[in-house]
Structure 1
Amino acid sequence: MIKKLLGGATFLFFASSAFANDCAVTVESNDAMQFNTSNVVIPASCDEFTVTLKHTGQLPKQSMGHNWVMTAKADGQAVATDGMSAGLDNNYIKPNDERVIGATEIIGGGEETSTTFSVKGLSKDEDYMFFCSFPGHIGIMQGTVTLES
C-alpha cells in the first residue's frame, strides 16, 4: 500500500504478513502440560521448516520439561516409549532414531529452542503428528502436522 503524507512525501507500507516466514512457526508450552496449538501447517512451498518452542511456564526441565517432536503418526507412541529409557540427557529421544523427522531439545520454564528440518521427502498421503516426549506427556501434549498441497 502506498501512502502520501503531508508535504508530498510518499512512503511504501507493507502488511507485516508480507514479510512473515511461512516456513516457520512458534509453539508455546506451559506448566499445565499444554501446547498452544493442536495443528502445525507446513506450506507446500517449504523445503525446510523451523519450529521454535517456547516454555511459558516456570518449572525446571527436570520436573516439567517439554520438547517438540515430529514423526509419522504411526510412529509417535513408539518413539515416545523408546525415548523414556533414553533419559533427559538425550532429550527423551532414542539417539539416532530414524523415525524422528524433527525434534527440539527439552527445555524448562522461561526457555526457548528451535529445530529446522527438511520436508522434501514428506508425503501428503502420510499422517504426521507432533508431541512432547517427556515421560507421560504424549497423552496430553500432541497434535497433527498438516502438509499443504
Structure 2
Amino acid sequence: MRLSLLTFSLISLTACSGGGDSSKAPSSTKAEKSATKAAEPKKAAAAPVAQKAAEAPKEEAKPAADGTAAAKPGIAIPEGATVVTVNSSDSMQYDVKEIRVKAGAKVALTLNHTGKLPKSAMGHNLVILAAGADVMTFVTAATSAAAEDYVPKSQAESVIVATKLIGGGESDTVIFDAPAAGTYEYLCSFPGHYAIMKGKFIVE
C-alpha cells in the first residue's frame, strides 16, 4: 500500500513539473511573435523611401553663372590679320584718330560703343571712304539714309568698308583687305557726328 502511494506521488510531481514547462513555452512564443510583428511595419515603411530615392530623376546640368555654357562664337579672325580696335562713346568721340596698316593686309576692324545710349539717340559707325570720295557729298547723303544705317547705297562707290550702326554696349567687326597705299578718311556718318568723329586711315 505504501509503495502504491509513493508511486502515485512521483507520477503527480512529474505531471505538475511537465505542465509548468508547457505553460511557459507558449508565453515565450507569443513574445517572439509580437517582436516580429513590431519589426515588420518598420521594414515596410522603409521600402517606399528607398524606392522613391531610386526613382528620383537626376537634376539636369545648369549652365554656368557666367553663361559660358550658352556663349556664341565670335567672328573668326584670319591668321596673320592686322587687328584694329576703335572705341566710341556717349561723348561722341573715337579714341583713335589715326589707323596705320600695310597695303594688301587682311584687316579685322572692331568698333565698340562703350556708352549706354541707344543707337537711335547716339548711334555710331565707322566708315572708311575711298580715295577721291567727296566727304561732304557723302555726309549730306548719309543724313537722309536712316533706313540704311546712314550709309547710303547711292554712295556705295565712295565706301571701302563700313561697320553697322551700333548703340551703347554693342560692337561690330568687319574684315577686309587694305587698299593701295595712301591716306583715307574715316568717319561716323550718324547725323551731326562727322564734325568730331573722324580720323585718318593710313595705308603704307
- Could you say which TM-score interval applies, normalised by the shorter chain? 0.7 to 0.9
User: Percent identity at matched positions?
Assistant: 39
| TM-score w.r.t. length of structure 2 | 0.56
| TM-score w.r.t. length of structure 1 | 0.76
Residue 72 of structure 1 pairs with residue 123 of structure 2: no
**Please, which of 94, 101, 104 is the counterpart of residue 152 of structure 2?**
94
**Please, which of 123, 127, 131 is the counterpart of residue 180 of structure 2?**
123
Compared CA separation, residues 73 and 132, structure 1 to 2 (3 A): farther
Compared CA separation, residues 72 and 127, structure 1 to 2 (3 A): farther
In the aligned structure 2, how far is the partner of 1:49 from the partner of 1:77? Answer: 26
State the match for 1:56 in structure 2. Answer: 114
User: Stretches of 4+ moved more than 6 A in 1?
Assistant: none
Alignment of 1:131-142 (within 5 A): 131-142=187-198
State the match for 2:19 in structure 1. Answer: none
Cα RMSD for the two superposed structures: 1.8
In the aligned structure 2, how far is the partner of 1:84 from the partner of 1:73? Answer: 21
CA contact (8 A) 1:79 1:100 kept: no
In the aligned structure 2, how far is the partner of 1:21 from the partner of 1:109? Answer: 30
State the match for 1:37 in structure 2. Answer: 96
Corresponding residue SS for 1:101: strand
**Please, which of 139, 144, 148 is the counterpart of residue 200 of structure 2?**
144
**Count of equivalent residues:** 124
Q: Which has the higher helix share?
A: 2
Q: Deviation per CA, 1:55-75, whole angstroms, max 9, x where unpaired?
A: 000100000000000013642
Q: Deviation per CA, 1:75-108, whole angstroms, max 9, x where unpaired?
A: 2332221111111x31101126111001001000
Compared CA separation, residues 100 and 45, structure 1 to 2 (3 A): closer
In the aligned structure 2, how far is the partner of 1:21 from the partner of 1:60? Answer: 34
Q: CA deviation at 1:144?
A: 0.1
CA contact (8 A) 2:90 2:122 kept: yes
Larger Rg belongs to:
2
